[in-house]
Amino acid sequence: MISYPKTCRRTGQAVITGHEAARQESFDVNIIRQLTEKPWLVKDRSIVEDIDESAFPSAVPTGLWVYFAVATVLFSLIAAAYLMRMGVGHPGEGLDWRSTPKPSLLWVNTVILILSSFTFQWTRAAARRGQTDRVAIGLLTAGFFSFAFLVGQLTVWRQLADAGYFLTANPANAFFYLITMLHGLHLLGGLVAWSRTTAKLWDGFEPAEISLSVDLCAIYWHFLLVVWLAFFYLMLST
């Protein structure tokens, strides 16, 4: 009696069983790998760098609008407090409110801030047209005007202090220093974004690649201009 077929059958079953075991082992390894995987860790930095930011262009502007809403509430509360404090401390009622003088340099500073805002708008248009030279000139000019505005505001502080209008002299002085300080700090924050955008252009980025950053800077400067004009009018009219 020949037993060869049985041996073949057993050998075939052994081979099949070996393949099934290998597949099962591979399946188990994959399961363990998936369970222990940490998808929040960046494994390949090139994947992140290759992500096209245009796929989600609304994320940053939405954050900026939220910031504008918060800043508007803050400045509105300060304006309301200014009017309320002025109402209870008016000189006609024999109390302590004395209007702070408005040096002529404040008018110059206002014009400088307007020029800065318009320059950003001009730069914004140049970036959309892909005009690298004009974008560079616009960014540098807008930054120069912004720094000049801040220096001018500090000079106004110095003029008022030399004239005896100190922070603690009366509530009107305190509000003037508070308003100009907060506005200046917001402008400094904008200059951080401006510096990063300018550095990208100098690093060889094309205008189209920084167009969104220029847009956001322009919008931010327009916002600060409106805030300053509103407060300047408030202080001049009171």
Mean pLDDT (whole number) for 155-168: 94
Write out pLDDT tens, residues 99-156.
Answer: 899 999 999 999 999 999 999 999 999 999 999 999 999 999 999 999 999 999 999 9
pTM above 0.75, yes or no: no
Q: Please check whether residue 100 is in contact with residue 165, taking contact to mean a CB–CB distance below 8 angstroms.
A: yes
pLDDT tens track for 205-232? 999 999 999 999 999 999 999 999 999 9
Domains of the chain as residue ranges with CATH: 59-237 (1.20.120.80)
Mean pLDDT taken over the chain? 82
pLDDT tens track for 177-207: 999 999 999 999 999 999 999 999 999 999 9
Termini Cα distance of the chain: 120
- Please tell me which residue, 24 or 170, carries the higher pLDDT value: 170
